[in-house]
Chain A
Amino acid sequence: DADVTQTPRNRITKTGKRIMLECSQTKGHDRMYWYRQDPGLGLRLIYYSFDVKDINKGEISDGYSVSRQAQAKFSLSLESAIPNQTALYFCATSVRGDTGELFFGEGSRLTVL
């Protein structure tokens, strides 16, 4: 089983719908992140959390919200999905000591029609 698990892996939805992407990890890492990946662009940070009580906006947080329900769980919500949120979304974790290595989940492909 993957150490960082994302659900759903694929989702097609319509404009205006609320969507939640969930991430859980068994690595015991404190830090968790949500990224999106679009063709021709590097991964871009949406939100990150260094512990359960610490939530921070990344470079492209507009239209998204997150919840850190526990050390192991970090969910991403799109309150009212729009077509330009169609992307591949990755959850990632890292250790507190900040070696720089990120451990990614397998990704959630979201299509907004």
Chain B
Amino acid sequence: RKEVEQDPGPFNVPEGATVAFNCTYSNSASQSFFWYRQDCRKEPKLLMSVYSSGNEDGRFTAQLNRASQYISLLIRDSKLSDSATYLCVVRPATGGFKTIFGAGTRLFVKA
């Protein structure tokens, strides 16, 4: 079993749609969680951190469910520019460095 698993997609949605991605992680001791965005043939960039209480940044909402060991990303009112691959990233307990990247979920937003 992979340490971080994501549905690879692709998710094809029309502009204005709401789309949600989930990511599951296997290490219950994981402490830090992030979503990165990667455009085609570009470098990953941090989209948002995921906090236990959940967090929102504009049209993006991230949630953490420790009991079920998954994190989610919700995108509302999708834009063409949201088309990208979204990487789920998990870090272990403090004192450990290892950062685990999911393989990513591809999103295509259509006009």
Contact = CB atoms under 8 A, between A and B. Distances in A.
Contacts, number: 41
B34 A100 contact: yes
A43 B44 contact: yes
Contact of B99 (A90, A102, A104, A106): A102
A105 B43 CA distance: 6
B49 interface: yes
B100 A42 contact: yes
Contact of B101 (A43, A101, A105, A106): A43
A40 B103 contact: yes
A107 B46 contact: no
Given A42-B104, A43-B101, A48-B97, A102 B8 contact: no
A41 interface: yes
Contacts of B8: 40
A106 B38 CA distance: 11
A19 interface: no
B49 A45 contact: no
Given A40-B8, A90-B43, A104-B44, 18 more contacts: A40-B103, A41-B103, A42-B87, A42-B101, A42-B102, A43-B44, A43-B87, A43-B101, A44-B101, A45-B98, A90-B44, A100-B91, A101-B34, A102-B46, A105-B43, A106-B42, A106-B43, A107-B41
Interface of B: 2, 4, 8, 32, 34, 41-46, 49, 87, 91, 97-104
